[in-house]
Every structure is written in C-alpha cells, then in structure tokens.
Amino acid sequence: MAEAIVTVFLQKLVDLVAQEADFLAGVEEQLQLLRTDLEWIRSFLKDADGRRRENERVNVWVSQIRDVAYDAEDVIDTFLIKIEQQRRNQHFSHGFWCFLSRPPAFHDVGKKIKEINKRIERIRDNKSRYGIEDIDGEISGSSNEGPSRKEKRTPIVEEVDVVGFEDDEKTLTRKLIEGETQRAIISIVGMGGLGKTTIAKKIYNRRVIKRHFDCHAWVYVSQEYQIRELLQEIIKCIIGRNEFEMTEEELGRKLSEHLNQRRYLVVLDDIWSIEAWERLESAFPKGQLGSRVLITTRNKDVAKFAYNRSPPHELRFLREDECWDLFCKKAFRDVNHSCPTDLEMKARSSTEWEKVLKTISWHLSEGQSQISKILALSYDDLPFYLKSCFLYFGIFPEDKEIPNRRLIQLWVAEGFIEERRGETLEEVAEDYLQELIDRSMIQVGKRSSDGRVKACCVHDLFRDLSILEARKDKFLQVDGNIEDSASPVRSRRLVVHHNINRRYVPLSRLASNLRSLFWLTPMGNEGSEVIFSHGSFKLLRILDFGETISSLPKEVGDLIHLRYLGIELLEIRTLPSSIGNLRNLQTINMGKSYIRPPNSFWKLQQLRNVRAGAGIEVVGCPQMNHLKNLQMLTRVAVGRWIEHGLSQLTNLRKLGLDGRLSLQEEALSRSLVKLEHLHSLKLMRGDTMQTFAFFEHLGHLNKLYLRGLLKELPRVHEFPPNLTKLTLIHSKLEQDPMVTLEKLPNLQILRLLRWSYVGDKIVCTGRGFHKLGELILERLDGLEEWTVMDGAMLSLKCLSILDCFRFKMLPEGLLHLTTLQELILGYASERLTVRPKDNREDWYNMANTYLREEEMS
C-alpha cells in the first residue's frame, strides 16, 4: 500500500513543478532531492509491502515511509493554498515575483521540505542499520531455486460436509471424462474460501474419476511456489519415487515422457500466476488420450491464459438455505445434522442472547481472523495500483450495489488512475475494475447492453478486509471504528454512515490532513456550513453528502483542492460565483437538484462530469472552449448557449438535453455532428426536432433516449449506424414502430415506454431484430395484439411486458425463440417472472393464463 501512496505523491510533485515553476525558486533543489529519494525507496517498496505481515521491522519501516509521504503531501498541498491566496490578493504580477517580497509562509515551505528530506535520509539509513537489507532475496520465491524462506501456507484438507455444489460437481465431472480427446485444461475460479479446493478434492476422489484416468497427481501451488519442487511432487504421485538429483529441465522431460502414452489427471490447486502455468505446461503432453489438467485459482486471468476451448467454471455463493444447512451440519453433528426443535423455537430475551453472543465472541473473532488471513492473500497479491482501488470499497455500505460510474469518478478524483496513451482515465479505471473482478475480489452487479460493468458489489468479508487494511494504513476510517477518545481522526478519508443509534464523531475531531469526507447522514444546515468554512477541511479532494442541505455557501470556493463534490440542494439554487475558484474540480454530482451555475463555473478546465438530476440551466451564452476534459453533461436545458458552446465540448461522451429542441434545431444539428466521441445522447421533454439527419454522422453513438412527441420515426439510414440501445417515451407514434426499428442492424436493447406508441397492433417480421437481446414494452395503453413471425428476434433473451392493460395474449411466435431466458409480465406492483425451459408450451400457457386473470381482475 505504501508503494501506491508514494507513487501518487510523486505524480503530484511532477505536476507541481510543471504548473507552479514561477513560485519554486529556492526550493527546486530540495524538491528534486525529495523526488529522487522517494523514487529510490519506491523501487524497494514493491517487495517490502508484501513482507509486512511476517516481519515487524519491515512493517515499521514501511509505516515510516507512508507517514513521511503523507506529511510531504500535506506540505505541498498547504503550499498550493498559499499560492492561491497570494494570487487572489494580487501581491504579485503574472510571470514575475520577486523572491524577497514573498511572505514568510512561502519561505517556510523550503524549511519543511528540508526537514522531510532529513527524515527520509534517516529512514533510508535504518534500512541497513536494522538489517532490513537482508530480506531483499526473500521476496518472490516463485523464481528462485532452493527452498522458499517464506513459510508456505498449508493446503486445505478434504472437507466432508459439502453443501451446494451438487450441480458444479456434475458439470465438472462431465468435463473431465467426456468431450475432446486432446488434453484439456479445466479451471475452477472463485474468491478465497469459496470452496474451489473442496469441490476439486471431492471430484478428484470420485471412483468414476479414479477409474477413468491411468494416473493422477494433486499438487498445491500457492503464491510461494518452486517449479522444481512442484515437478518432484507430481512425479512422486505418478511414478511413486523421488528424484532429488535432477534439474528442473530434467524433471520436466521425465514427467512428459512418462505421461505421453497415458491418460492422466493433474490437479494444480491454488495457482496464482500465469508464469507458474507457463513453466509447468510443457511437462503435460497434449496427446489424444483425453488427459486433463484441473486448475483452481482466484485469478480469472490465469484461467483465461490456460484456457483451451473450455471456459472457466466460476463458483457461485451459497444461498441462504444452503448456508443454514452447512451451519447445522457443523453445529449439530450429534443430532442428525439438524437444529433441535426446542432450540430453534426457544424464546429468549435480548439480554439472554447477548450473553450467548459474549460467550462465543472469542471463537467468532478467532474464526474471522483465520478467514481474514485467507482473503488477505488476495490483497497482498494485488499490484500497487489496485490496492488503493480495492481499499476504497470500504466506503460503501454493505450489501449495496455500487454504481460503476460513481466509483470510477471517485477513483479518478483521488488520483489512483495512471495515464495510458490513447485512453481516457475512465477507460483505464474500467480496466482496473475488471482486473479486481477477474481476481475474484469484486462481483459484477449489473452489465450494460455493450457488456460493460454497470454496477458492482463486494462480499461482506472482503469489505471487512478493506476496512481493516485501510485503517492500518491510515487510508480510511469508517464511523463505526472511531474511538471515543479525544484524539483527532488521523485517516486521510472518513466515511460516516447513517445510523440513528450511533453517536457520531464531532467535526472538531477531524484532523487537518483529511482528504476525503463522505457524510452520509443528516447533520443539519449548521453542520454543513461548518464543513465548508472550517480550516481543517481546506485540503479536501472529495466531499460527498448523502443528505440534502439548504444551500451551497460561498466558502466552498476556498476548497481549492476539491476534485469531487457530491451534494443535493433542497430547492432551485444558483451556485455561488466562488465555485469558479475550484480549478481542480472534476466532478459535480448534484443528485436530484436543479442548478443554475454562474458563468465562472464553465471556465473550470478540469471538469469531467456535471450532473443534476432535475436539470441544469446555462445562464446567457458563456464560452465553453476551456472544457476540453468534459465527458458527461446531463439534463442541461436547451438555450442560446448551444449555438456557440455545445460544439466546443469536443470530448463529450454522454449528453442529456432538456427543453424545446425545435427552438435551437439548426444550431443543435450543427453542433452535435462535431461531437465525434459521443456515446450516449438523451433528448428529453417538450417538442422534438423535425429532422434527425445528423444522427448518421455520430459513428460512436450507441445509446439513444428520445422523450417527446414524434410525428414519425427517423428513417433507418438516419439512425446512428452503431446504435445498440434505444429508448422511446411519450412519442405517441401512430404507426407501428417495429416496421422501422427491426431493420436497425446493431440494436440489442429496445425500450418502448409510456405512450411511445398509441396504436393497437405491432408486427415483427421474419429476420427482423436479428441482434435484439432485450425488449421492454411498458405502458402501451392501446396495445392489444402482437404478431411474431418465424425468424424474428432469434437472439432475444429477456422480454418484459408491463402495464399494457389491453394486451390479451402472447404471440405464438415466442414459442420458437429458443434463446428466451426470462419473461416478465405485470401490472402495477404485481409481477410474474417466467424462465422458459425445455417444455415451451407450459410456460407459454402459464403466461397467457396470468394475462387473462389480470385482465378480468
């Protein structure tokens, strides 16, 4: 984690030298020394971070580096505030500032940097003085010969109480003994402790498996592996003797020669790296005898790399009833593995249950500690750039889906994302999230139509781990972990969740080094004003309120380091002109508010995302040529600004326009064609434009939302050529929209919502909608009949028909859609979900019965 902290700070130093060269006369040498020393230290941190759990000296040394990096960051950020204050006071002219005329605060920065450099020198000396140098060769035993000096974790023993893996066992057994004759690689993927080894061991010991293969071997790989030792273990399993005198190459050849004419099964349990598989693979001949290599891993990248025509098998989490079943098997072995009736139904007071909890709390904490150690292996294995991203999940409430967009905006604002040529920071952040998912540390909640992660979630155990590790590194503190002592909170980030029974930390306890504050509980208007005006919050980068406040005070302009502002206002509000001082602001998320920003707001060059759920009003015609980084602008009111402002937002990816579009139709058409990076467009409310010819020039546009009256749909060639998702609402079309829409070549999701079509019949002809995967028909009050011809919608997976009160019967053509996986029918709050299986007529008849009954009721 210290490596990530130092890396982020080093980037800040580079930016400081580039942006504030005029103010650094006299301290350049000290800054360069600071940068050089930290870059040298960072080269060692990659290995030292992983040794902290086993070596207390290393732990102390790394903690000292972390603290000095934090303190250096405080000095630099405070210095930048002084520069900004000096600019505002106009005590100097642009481009020239006599060093002798600088106030004392500017001279102090040089002294403080010198002190920090002295601390770093002492820390560097301590590396040799206390023998920390000696651990250099101990790291990463994967590539060294000879025994690893790091203690190897004992593999999990065979588990007799297996619950919930019956289907997995059948599927994996079938993959092992059936299918292709060439050697195949089968992978089991899942988070630590989920049961990968358990299910693999159970399958490995099955009689049908033992009979099917000529020889078998099970080897435990782990993070600290030695290739030579692994080969020796496999040979011992298969041949029955040790080969201590052979080299790694000789062992590999001997094993390959022995397996070449045999049908073998080798299990590589708990493999962490692609390198390990690359070095072992040549020992397993490919042959045509139906041999198999079974891999268990937490990292999907390893499974994908080893993949040869058999996709990774991902284990699911146990259902609640399965968890109860497993608990009973463990807790009640003497009573047929079931909870005694008298205990299950026994009434106890809350006081009695608290006593029970206290008696077992020690055992629970011990068990939790063991689980944390298992999961911590995944955290320790993360590259430095992912550690900060993972710890950030402790911010979000447990058991809640986390919107991908918000998470990525916060990561970018924190400076966690490294720049990569040809990609936006948001695109790099999506790769970071996908890597955490592939490492089985984060789960996908929802995916968008193009397959991207739309929302994610984190298992409670991993969330607990993130909070624990974050607190150790002073990275993050959650309100439930704040002590009642008078000492200030020292973490760089603080999150306070809503809990009416909890006594919250007073604002006075928050230290001046706080960088991110998530206040997700009511605090009253006075409390919010304190946050904006209190001197302790001047270094904030992230300020996110989860509750509504009455106004945004002018003191917000003093938070010059602010990059992310999340806030919701009670009423229509004009933002204070001082918001134009937030020259680092990247994202402003105003929730459901309606805002009227001052013209100074549109000069903020770092703006990337602007969102207000109820709308944004642009006053006058401000120049927007400064907004080269702006990527998202949602629900902004149509106005005169479009004529000269919209075309300047050349990096927009997502745009929402609200109001009478026809008043600015010509200017809007001219401007939109210049937004060549636009991916998502919403045109909302009021009347809608008469022509959409400009759509065909938007080659990257894949999501389109049209709300408002339409005389007719655009012609097929006028739609964006790569459109994958289309939503129509309040269009009141009189002609069947399917006639046009079924011809859109790339359409995957179609949503015809409230009053988008007022006719009584729709028809889907053969070969239409050949890529459509999801169709939603909602509140089409006049719809009575739907015809689906043979060959239509052959890719449809999900169909929803909601609140279509006159709709009487499903089309028979649905019976031929073998791809259909889910059908949702309903009125008001009532919903019926049907998942079609082999007998197509059963679900079809059940759905029609539901429709008839609802119509009569």
Q: What is the pLDDT of residues 638-693, one digit of tens each?
A: 988 998 889 999 999 999 999 888 888 888 888 988 898 999 999 987 666 667 77
Is residue 83 scored above 90 in pLDDT? no
Look at residue 711 and tell me if it is in a domain: no
Distance CA 850, CA 832 (A): 8
Distance CA 703, CA 384 (A): 35
**Over residues 750-777, mean pLDDT:** 94
Look at residue 277 and tell me if it is in a domain: yes
Q: What is the pLDDT of residues 149-206, one digit of tens each?
A: 344 444 544 555 666 678 888 999 999 998 888 899 999 999 888 889 989 999 999 9
Distance CA 34, CA 77 (A): 15
pLDDT for position 150: 41
**Alpha helices by DSSP H, 52-165:** 56-89, 104-129
CA 628 to chain centroid, in Å, comes to: 26
Identify the band that residue 43 occupies on the pLDDT scale cut at 50, 70 and 90: confident
CB atoms within 10 A of CB 411: 20
Q: Which residue has the higher pLDDT, 583 or 24?
A: 583
pLDDT for position 699: 84
Contacts of 88 (CB under 8 A, 6+ apart): none
Task: Identify whether the C-beta of residue 548 lies closer than 8 Å to the C-beta of residue 569.
Answer: yes
Q: What is the pLDDT of residues 790-832, one digit of tens each?
A: 999 999 999 999 999 888 889 999 988 889 988 998 876 677 8
This prediction's pTM: 0.84
Nearest Cα to 296, choosing from 393, 197, 405? 197
Residues 178 and 284 reside in one and the same domain: yes
Residues 47 and 125 reside in one and the same domain: yes
Distance CA 723, CA 270 (A): 43
Distance CA 395, CA 389 (A): 11
652 burial (CB, 10 Å; 0-12 / 13-18 / 19+) is buried
Look at residue 819 and tell me if it is in a domain: yes
Residues 752 and 856 reside in one and the same domain: yes
pLDDT for position 770: 92
**Residue % of the chain over a pLDDT of 90:** 37
Is residue 78 scored above 60 in pLDDT? yes
Lowest-pLDDT choice from 293-297, 368-372, 374-378? 368-372
Residues 173 and 299 reside in one and the same domain: yes
Average pLDDT, the chain: 82
State how far the alpha carbon of 623 is from the alpha carbons of 413, 477, 654, in Å: 25, 42, 20
Distance CA 20, CA 15 (A): 8
Is residue 301 scored above 80 in pLDDT? yes
Residues 6 and 88 reside in one and the same domain: yes
Return the HEC string of 616-646.
Answer: ECCCCCCCCCCCCCCCEEEEEECCCHHHHHH
Q: What is the pLDDT of residues 558-602, one digit of tens each?
A: 899 999 999 877 666 788 899 999 999 999 998 888 889 999 999
CB atoms within 10 A of CB 526: 7
Identify the band that residue 284 occupies on the pLDDT scale cut at 50, 70 and 90: very high
711 burial (CB, 10 Å; 0-12 / 13-18 / 19+) is exposed
Task: Identify whether the C-beta of residue 702 lies closer than 8 Å to the C-beta of residue 725.
Answer: yes
H or E segment at 434? helix 425-438
**Which of these three, 271, 290, 314, is where a domain ends?**
314
Q: Which residue has the higher pLDDT, 361 or 820?
A: 820
Lowest-pLDDT choice from 54-58, 343-347, 474-478? 343-347
Look at residue 807 and tell me if it is in a domain: yes
Please, what is the Cα angle at 484 between 479 and 489, to 5 degrees? 55
Look at residue 799 and give its three-state secondary structure.
strand
**Over residues 713-718, mean pLDDT:** 88
pLDDT for position 342: 61
Distance CA 102, CA 791 (A): 78
Q: What is the pLDDT of residues 524-566, one digit of tens each?
A: 555 566 667 666 688 999 999 876 777 788 888 989 999 999 9
Q: What is the pLDDT of residues 332-359, one digit of tens each?
A: 665 566 666 666 556 555 566 566 565 5
Contacts of 411 (CB under 8 A, 6+ apart): 389, 392, 417, 429, 432
Look at residue 243 and tell me if it is in a domain: yes
Task: Identify whether the C-beta of residue 633 lies closer than 8 Å to the C-beta of residue 677.
Answer: no
**Over residues 455-475, mean pLDDT:** 91
- Signed CA dihedral, 405, 410, 416, 419: sign only: positive
Phi, psi (degrees; rounded to nearest 5) at 262: -130, 150
List residues bridging with 632 in a β-sheet. 609, 654
Domain that holds residue 773: 724-857
pLDDT for position 151: 42
Distance CA 213, CA 118 (A): 65
Sheet strands (E) in 117-245: 184-189, 215-220
Identify the band that residue 368 occupies on the pLDDT scale cut at 50, 70 and 90: low
Task: Identify whether the C-beta of residue 189 lies closer than 8 Å to the C-beta of residue 316.
Answer: no
Identify the band that residue 23 occupies on the pLDDT scale cut at 50, 70 and 90: confident
Lowest-pLDDT choice from 94-103, 482-491, 804-813? 94-103
Residues 217 and 282 reside in one and the same domain: yes
pLDDT for position 783: 94
Is residue 137 scored above 50 in pLDDT? no
pLDDT for position 269: 94
H or E segment at 517? strand 516-519
List residues bridging with 788 in a β-sheet. 764
Which DSSP symbol is given to 531? H
Look at residue 32 and tell me if it is in a domain: yes
Look at residue 300 and give its three-state secondary structure.
helix
Identify the band that residue 857 occupies on the pLDDT scale cut at 50, 70 and 90: low
Distance CA 196, CA 296 (A): 6
DSSP string, 540-584: -SEEEEEEEES---GGGGG-TT--EEEEEESS-EEPPGGGGG-TT
Q: Which two tokens stand for residue 309?
A: 């025509």
Residues 201 and 94 reside in one and the same domain: no
Task: Identify whether the C-beta of residue 514 lies closer than 8 Å to the C-beta of residue 492.
Answer: yes
State how far the alpha carbon of 108 is from the alpha carbons of 112, 513, 536, 731, in Å: 6, 18, 19, 65
Look at residue 170 and tell me if it is in a domain: yes
Residues 267 and 193 reside in one and the same domain: yes
As for how many domains the chain has, the answer is 4
Look at residue 228 and tell me if it is in a domain: yes
Q: What is the pLDDT of residues 231-272, one digit of tens each?
A: 999 999 998 888 778 889 999 999 999 999 899 999 999 999
Residues 305 and 183 reside in one and the same domain: yes
Residues 170 and 294 reside in one and the same domain: yes
Task: Identify whether the C-beta of residue 804 lies closer than 8 Å to the C-beta of residue 778.
Answer: yes
CA dihedral angle for residue 213, residue 214, residue 217, residue 218, rounded to 10 degrees: 20
**Which of these three, 442, 459, 476, is where a domain ends?**
459
Is residue 96 scored above 50 in pLDDT? no
**Which of these three, 314, 330, 363, is where a domain ends?**
314
pLDDT for position 827: 76
Distance CA 857, CA 846 (A): 17
pLDDT for position 156: 47
Distance CA 76, CA 80 (A): 6
Look at residue 516 and give its three-state secondary structure.
strand
Phi, psi (degrees; rounded to nearest 5) at 798: -135, 130
Residue 306 sits in a domain of what CATH number?
3.40.50.300
Distance CA 522, CA 417 (A): 32
Which strand ranges, in their side-by-side order, compose the sheet holding 215-220?
215-220, 264-269, 292-297, 184-189, 313-314
Residues 27 and 83 reside in one and the same domain: yes
Question: Cα(first)–Cα(last) distance of the chain, in Å?
Answer: 61
Task: Identify whether the C-beta of residue 235 lies closer than 8 Å to the C-beta of residue 254.
Answer: yes
Distance CA 667, CA 681 (A): 16
pLDDT for position 139: 40
Residue 455 sits in a domain of what CATH number?
1.10.10.10
Nearest Cα to 416, choosing from 124, 854, 11? 11
Distance CA 52, CA 380 (A): 10
Pairing relation of β-strands 542-549 and 215-220?
Answer: unpaired
Residues 286 and 413 reside in one and the same domain: no
